[in-house]
A and B are shown apart, each in its own frame.
Chain A
């Protein structure tokens, strides 16, 4: 196994453990926004989609790069916007009491 692959594997496994540790503390109340937030984080695949547009050099390559960029951008933009929309609704007190105050 090459050093590069081994390094990647170590990073992957350690990140899994960090993920388990951090996410097991999220209360059930927030599980839907959590999943939506996780959804937007896997939108990082947009970075990969952008990089394949660099190496694409034929029609099939361009079609794949276009589809990948569209999919990933939808994932990342939609994910963050909808998570923000949901989290905005979680209030400690009824909405009326908080009018005019930033929450």
Chain B
């Protein structure tokens, strides 16, 4: 190996080290920004080394330069624009789109490599065929699956589970077709065979994500993230590049961990989520306000007095808060309470939002300092010392029914909101959560229901606190 190529390989090793260090620095919010900068530096180095390699080899045509530069410019502008303008509530969609293009690019690298080898007519080595097929299949499934997931999150495709009779048969057929074509390709290089594999994989991605409902999105996004990483690693196997293998494996591990965490937080197996058909989706029929025995309604003034004279308040935000765009309103109320000497913290369930950690980002955007954001295990022991638990737009994750066997959510880890001295629930109606069952918390004698839209309710509470105890 020439000194030049050794240098290039060493730069790739340095880049991979930067990625690992960058992820390591993300173990604390105070060092996370530096982590992102270190990771960016590694990426710039890897791309620069690749450019040097291309120039040095001198094999690229003028058209090749133009195509590469134009493609990179188009993509970079699209990425920059979407990253700068995206709303924080739309972050899960954007992450899905980046998963899609990452997986798509990995698949294209594999496809191109295979076509070049097949065109040369010298046959394709078995090890290359296997890694290429893995790359193309995982990449294509990720691409179409992520596009569907992004469409569901953006509301372009219904977020309710889409199922129809025979769906499972179609999935099995697609898998059989893809496997059959793969088996053929291992013995005989064939572009038609590859095309069949690509189409089957794309169709499989669609049919995999369509039956999955909105509230299961945190699991799906994490899983697709893991797929993308694996596809990129496979692309690294195909072109023999260690930087791609290491980076892809890191992302695969990250996506894998998050998938497991999200599935555990809903007490469901990943297989169960992929097969779908849980509850009735987000839009469960809403019962009339006040329906149900023993439910006590409350008005803004009473709720404001409880909050203002409490010494410890825990806010429990759920997806409903984000849907109502009420994160700034809640932060304003919390700040007002804090200025009166009330200790305020936020209890964040792992699946509060549409992707892992989503609620934390939404609250950080509303200027909530991160030490106030408490994870479930950290906050649960504190509820017994809490004067008021303020539940906003969270439902199933606060339902004590999860502690008993035999309900739809049995065994799901929940926030122990019912341990607080009193509980105020802001909710538009007595409608059900995703699991489609009654929330026993609402019938608790310590609970008062404040029936209103989250944003209006919070603004009402803030002004009531100001006027009553100013």
* Chain A residues packing against B (C-beta within 8 Å): 1-2, 4-5, 8, 11-13, 15-20, 22-57, 60-62, 64-95
Q: What chain B residues lie within 8 Å of A60 (beta carbons)? A: 115
DSSP class of B's interface residues: helix, strand, loop or mixed?
helix
Given contacts A35-B258, A37-B36, contact A71 B350 (CB under 8 A): no
Minimum CB–CB distance for A7 against chain B, Å: 9
Contacting pair B91 A23 (CB below 8 A)? no
**Given A31-B356, A52-B108, A76-B43, 19 additional A-B pairs, CB 8 A:** A5-B131, A15-B246, A19-B251, A22-B250, A25-B27, A28-B261, A34-B258, A40-B40, A44-B232, A48-B236, A50-B50, A51-B239, A67-B104, A70-B71, A71-B104, A78-B82, A80-B43, A84-B33, A88-B33
Contacting pair B47 A47 (CB below 8 A)? yes
Q: What chain A residues lie within 8 Å of B82 (beta carbons)? A: 74, 78, 82
Q: What chain A residues lie within 8 Å of B229 (beta carbons)? A: 38, 42
Partner of B369, one of A33, A37, A70, A91: A91
Given contacts A2-B127, A50-B51, contact A69 B356 (CB under 8 A): no
- CB-nearest residue of chain B to A49: B105
B247 within 8 Å of A by Cβ?
A: yes
3 pairs of A and B residues whose beta carbons are closest in the complex: A19-B253, A31-B357, A78-B79
Q: How many contacting A-B pairs (Cβ < 8 A)?
A: 391
Task: A46 to B239: give the CA distance in the assembly, Å.
Answer: 12
Minimum CB–CB distance for A101 against chain B, Å: 14
Of the listed stretches B61-69, B278-286, B445-453, chain A binds B61-69
- CB-nearest residue of chain A to B366: A89
* Those of B371-399 within 8 Å (CB) of chain A: 371, 373, 375
DSSP class of A's interface residues: helix, strand, loop or mixed?
helix
Minimum CB–CB distance for A93 against chain B, Å: 5
Contacting pair B244 A53 (CB below 8 A)? no
B222 within 8 Å of A by Cβ?
A: yes
* Those of B326-342 within 8 Å (CB) of chain A: 335
B162 within 8 Å of A by Cβ?
A: no
Given contacts A15-B250, A19-B250, A68-B112, contact A74 B79 (CB under 8 A): yes
- CB-nearest residue of chain A to B116: A55
Contacting pair B29 A39 (CB below 8 A)? no
Partner of A30, one of B32, B78, B221: B32
B437 within 8 Å of A by Cβ?
A: no
Contacting pair A90 B109 (CB below 8 A)? no
